[in-house]
Amino acid sequence: MAAAIGGMRICVYAASSGRVDPVYLAAARELGATLARAGCTTVYGGGGQGLMGALADGALAEGGEVIGIIPKFMVELEWGHPGVTTLELVEDMRERKHRLLTGSDAVVALPGGCGTLEELFEAITLKRLGLYFNPIVLLSVNGFYEGLQAFMEKVVAERFMNPEHAAMWSLVDRVDAVLPRIRATPRWHENARDYAVVR
C-alpha cells in the first residue's frame, strides 16, 4: 500500500561537513523546505552545521517541525542547532541512531561521510531482518550514491544478499522525487525474516 505524506515523520541522515560543494548544501536546504511544505516532521541528528544545518534551516524557514536528536557531548561542543523545534539529548551515538529510526515513516539519506553511511546501513540491515518496514530513499545529489548502488548490486550478485534485498532501498537524483518515491514505495514484507539468510 502506498504511503500517505502529510503528517509523516521523516528521518533524514546527513553530513555535518560544510566544506563541500554548495550543490549538496542547496539540496539539503531544499529537502527540508520540501518536507515542511508537505506537512512532514523532519527528524535528524540535531547538528547546526553542514548538510544537517542546511536541512533544518530549510524546514524551519517554511514553518516546519524539526526534531533534532543529539548526544550530550555534541551539545557540550556547541554542535547543536539552536533553532530547531525540539532538541532531544541522548547519552551516546547508539541511542541517537535508535531514536532517529524509532517511529519514523521513512528514511532519507542525503550525501554524507562515515556517520551517514553507518546510519544508512543500520536501517537497511534492520529492514533485512524484518525490524524496519518503511521506505529508505538515497538522495543521490550529483551522482553521489551511484558508486554505492553499483557496490550493492555486486553484493547481491556475489550472493551475500538475496535478489529481493535490492528492493530495500531506492535512489533518486532530485529533491522533488523524494516524496513521490516514498509515496510509491510499498511497506516491506512482513515475512522478511524468511529470506534474510542467503539462499
pLDDT digits 0-9 by tens, 42-84: 999 999 999 999 999 999 999 999 999 999 998 777 788 999 9
What is the C-alpha separation between 85 and 102, in angstroms, rounded? 18
Please tell me the number of Cα atoms within 13 Å of 197 on its side-chain side. 2
* Average confidence score pLDDT of the chain: 94
98, pLDDT greater than 90: yes
Residue length of the chain: 199
3, pLDDT greater than 60: no
Q: Which residues pair with 43 in a beta bridge?
A: 11, 67
106, pLDDT greater than 70: yes
Per-residue pLDDT at 169: 98
Q: Which residue has the higher pLDDT, 2 or 189?
A: 189
1, pLDDT greater than 50: no
What is the C-alpha separation between 171 and 138, in angstroms, rounded? 5
Does 3.40.50.450 match the CATH number of domain 1-113+131-144?
yes
Q: What is the mean pLDDT of residues 113-138?
A: 96
* Torsion on CA atoms 119, 122, 127, 131, rounded to nearest 10: -110
Question: Terminus-to-terminus CA distance in the chain, angstroms?
Answer: 27
Q: Which residue has the higher pLDDT, 103 or 134?
A: 134
The backbone torsions φ and ψ at residue 70, rounded to the nearest 5 degrees and listed phi first, read: -140, 140
Give the pLDDT band of residue 4 (cuts 50, 70, 90): low
Q: What is the mean pLDDT of residues 120-144?
A: 96
Q: Is residue 42 within 8 Å of 64, Cβ to Cβ? A: yes
Give the residue carrying C-alpha cell 531544499: 30
Give the pLDDT band of residue 95 (cuts 50, 70, 90): very high
Output the pTM of the full model.
0.93
Q: What is the mean pLDDT of residues 100-106?
A: 94
What is the C-alpha separation between 23 and 199, in angstroms, rounded? 41
Each residue of 179-199: pLDDT tens digit?
Answer: 999 999 999 988 877 776 777
Percent of the chain with pLDDT over 90: 86
Instruction: Please return the burial class of 89, using the count of CB atoms within 10 Å of its CB with bins 0-12, 13-18 and 19+.
Output: middle
167, pLDDT greater than 70: yes
Q: Where are the domains of the chain?
A: 1-113+131-144
